């Protein structure tokens, strides 16, 4: 038969115990041990008088590695058994369930303390590099010393029989977690699991997740903070909290919040003189010929939203109406063929085109949410709320470990920026053949695999990292 001649005389047989599947997860596993994360998790899960066969902290770490590797269910943990020649025995699926069930509020607090300490260490290593810490750059200007946090709420659809799975504001049944990410490092700082009927603009919830995220930053990164969010989380209580620096002395926090137009905003935009408009710029500072920005301060009454922050600068951006936004556009936007977006910011310096471009990079949070969902946030495994809460914190752990692995072990090129799906294909799912000799174990990778050098380089880079003091 045409197209099958290559398969003539080819047979599949599973009889080689020297092969180690998914060898690419070993460098991030070593990174966790090298920088003290594994030990911190083990200490956090330890209970007096209880000596389990399998270390509970190691189980949580390996579950995070399973999610990084593409696992979608707790039973996928058994894929790590194919790494047993390199890492030792792997617990059964029921044991993993028991570990999640044992991870209550006290254990989660200790686990997140361990993750925070791990973040302090790997962020410190980033700062010590010749290129320094990855401060955000907008139009050629580096925001040195400013930690950029992005807040967002996301809907996770689920079966209705799961505890707290309820009707969501987007329709359907599921959950509505709040997320806080750091744009500097691509690190997920906090995931707050919430019932499905939670709203995206709940000021109390948004303040709580912001304060939680800041508390998980290394101390020196908490002082100068830029918080970005979209209109769904726009409430005067949240903005006042940010403007008050979270109620802490010695801090300087700013916010940048964007939202789409209604007729009220369109009426204010219509009153703008032509001279008020200037050309917009992209993230590299290049002028956008089809985009304009203007300041709308004084033409729009936001007293109910901005509360106790008088004179808040309001910016508007005009750009061509893209087909993907047409369903959400107002009738006036459709008629004009334009899309209008507004920004309120507490930053009172800088050109309006630059402030607009600074806020536009808030779109990165969509990639962070998408990555979190690919790491397990989109599949809450249990009918019981407590187990699902523990699961979401393992997702945050996986995101943190993956961010550290990207920055510390991968070159500053395509591998570092690759989506999890591509990273799995090129690095994590690579098999190896195990041999022994010279009092060592050797994992042999295929010599002509295009990304073998990236994987071996990652292993050697992690092994060379200094151990924590």
CA distance to 34, 284, 434, 452, per residue, from 437 (Å):
24, 52, 10, 21
**300 pLDDT more than 80:** no
What digits encode the pLDDT tens for the residues 287-296? 988 999 999 8
From the options 1.10.8, 3.30.300, 2.60.40, 3.90.350, give the CATH code of 134-374. Answer: 3.90.350
To the question of pTM greater than 0.75 for the whole model, the response is yes
First vs last Cα of the chain: how many Å apart? 65
Beta bridge partners of 424: none
Segment 319-339 mean pLDDT: 86
CA distance to 33, 72, 109, 333, 438, per residue, from 64 (Å):
13, 11, 17, 45, 33
What digits encode the pLDDT tens for the residues 129-177? 999 999 999 988 999 999 999 999 999 999 889 999 999 988 899 999 9
- CA–CA distance, 365 with 363 (Å, rounded to integer): 5
What digits encode the pLDDT tens for the residues 100-137? 999 999 999 999 999 999 999 999 999 999 999 999 99
What pLDDT is attached to residue 322?
A: 86
Q: According to the per-residue pLDDT averaged within each range, which of 82-96, 341-355, 388-402 is highest? A: 388-402
Q: Which two tokens stand for residue 260?
A: 């789409």
The helix/strand/coil state of 10 is: coil
Segment 436-464 mean pLDDT: 93
CA distance to 92, 151, 273, 372, per residue, from 309 (Å):
56, 20, 26, 34
What pLDDT is attached to residue 306?
A: 53
User: pLDDT band at 232, cuts 50/70/90?
Assistant: low
If you write DSSP's letter for every residue of 89-105 in order, what string do you get?
----HHHHHHHHHH--H
CB 241 within 8 A of CB 210: yes
Closest CA to 373 of 392, 354, 386: 392
Beta bridge partners of 141: 138
Q: What is the mean pLDDT of the chain?
A: 91
What pLDDT is attached to residue 125?
A: 95
Domain boundary assignment for the chain: 15-110+383-463, 134-374
- The CA-based angle 332-235-142, given to 5 degrees, is 85
Closest CA to 283 of 343, 182, 360, 230: 360
**375 pLDDT more than 70:** yes
Other CB atoms within 10 Å distance of the CB of residue 397: 28
- CA–CA distance, 52 with 64 (Å, rounded to integer): 20
User: pLDDT band at 396, cuts 50/70/90?
Assistant: very high
| Proportion of the chain above pLDDT 70, given as a percent | 97
User: pLDDT band at 93, cuts 50/70/90?
Assistant: very high
- CA–CA distance, 230 with 260 (Å, rounded to integer): 9
- CA–CA distance, 39 with 237 (Å, rounded to integer): 40
What pLDDT is attached to residue 299?
A: 80
Beta-carbon contacts of residue 151 (< 8 Å; ≥ 6 apart): 178, 179, 180, 206, 209, 210, 227, 228, 229, 233, 365
- CA–CA distance, 127 with 134 (Å, rounded to integer): 8
């Amino acid at each position: 038969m045409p197209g099958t001649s290559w398969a003539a005389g080819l047979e599949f047989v599973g009889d080689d115990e020297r092969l180690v599947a998914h060898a690419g997860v070993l460098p991030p596993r070593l990174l966790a041990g090298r920088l003290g994360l594994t030990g911190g998790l083990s200490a956090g899960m330890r209970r007096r008088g209880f000596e389990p066969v399998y270390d509970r902290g190691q189980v949580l770490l390996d579950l995070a590695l399973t999610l990084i590797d593409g696992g979608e269910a707790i039973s996928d943990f058994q894929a790590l058994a194919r790494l047993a020649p390199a890492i030792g025995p792997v617990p059964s699926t029921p044991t993993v369930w028991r570990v999640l069930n044992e991870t209550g509020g006290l254990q989660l607090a200790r686990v997140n303390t361990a993750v925070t300490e791990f973040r302090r260490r790997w962020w410190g290593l980033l700062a010590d590099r010749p290129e320094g810490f990855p401060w955000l750059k907008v139009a050629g200007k580096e925001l040195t010393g400013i930690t950029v946090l992005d807040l967002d709420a996301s809907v996770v659809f689920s079966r209705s029989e799961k505890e707290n799975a309820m009707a969501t504001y987007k329709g359907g049944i599921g959950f509505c977690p709040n997320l806080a990410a750091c744009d500097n490092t691509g690190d997920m700082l906090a995931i707050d699991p919430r019932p499905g009927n939670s709203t995206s603009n709940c000021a109390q919830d948004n303040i709580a997740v912001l304060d939680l995220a800041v508390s998980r930053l290394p101390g020196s990164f908490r002082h100068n903070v830029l918080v970005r969010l979209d209109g769904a989380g726009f409430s005067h209580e949240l903005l006042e909290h940010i403007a008050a620096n979270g109620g802490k002395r010695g801090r300087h926090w700013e916010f940048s919040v964007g939202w789409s137009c209604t007729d009220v905003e369109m009426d204010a935009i219509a009153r703008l003189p032509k001279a008020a408009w200037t050309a917009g710029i992209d993230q590299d500072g290049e002028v956008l010929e089809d985009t304009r920005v203007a300041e709308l301060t004084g033409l729009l009454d936001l007293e109910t939203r901005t509360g106790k922050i008088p004179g808040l600068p309001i910016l508007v951006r005009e750009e061509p109406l893209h087909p993907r936004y047409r369903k959400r556009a107002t009738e006036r936007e459709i008629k004009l063929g334009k899309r209008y977006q507004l920004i309120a910011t507490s930053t009172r310096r800088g050109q309006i085109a630059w402030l607009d471009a600074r806020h536009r990079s808030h779109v990165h949070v969509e990639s962070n949410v998408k990555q979190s969902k690919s790491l397990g946030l989109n599949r809450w495994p249990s009918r019981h709320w407590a187990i699902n809460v523990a699961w979401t914190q393992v997702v945050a752990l996986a995101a943190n470990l993956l961010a550290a692995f990207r920055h510390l072990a991968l070159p500053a090129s395509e591998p570092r920026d690759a989506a999890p799906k591509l990273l799995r294909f090129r690095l994590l799912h690579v098999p190896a053949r195990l041999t022994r000799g010279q009092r060592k174990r050797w994992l042999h990778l295929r010599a002509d695999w295009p990304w073998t050098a990236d994987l071996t380089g990652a292993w050697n880079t992690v092994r060379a990292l200094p151990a924590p003091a």
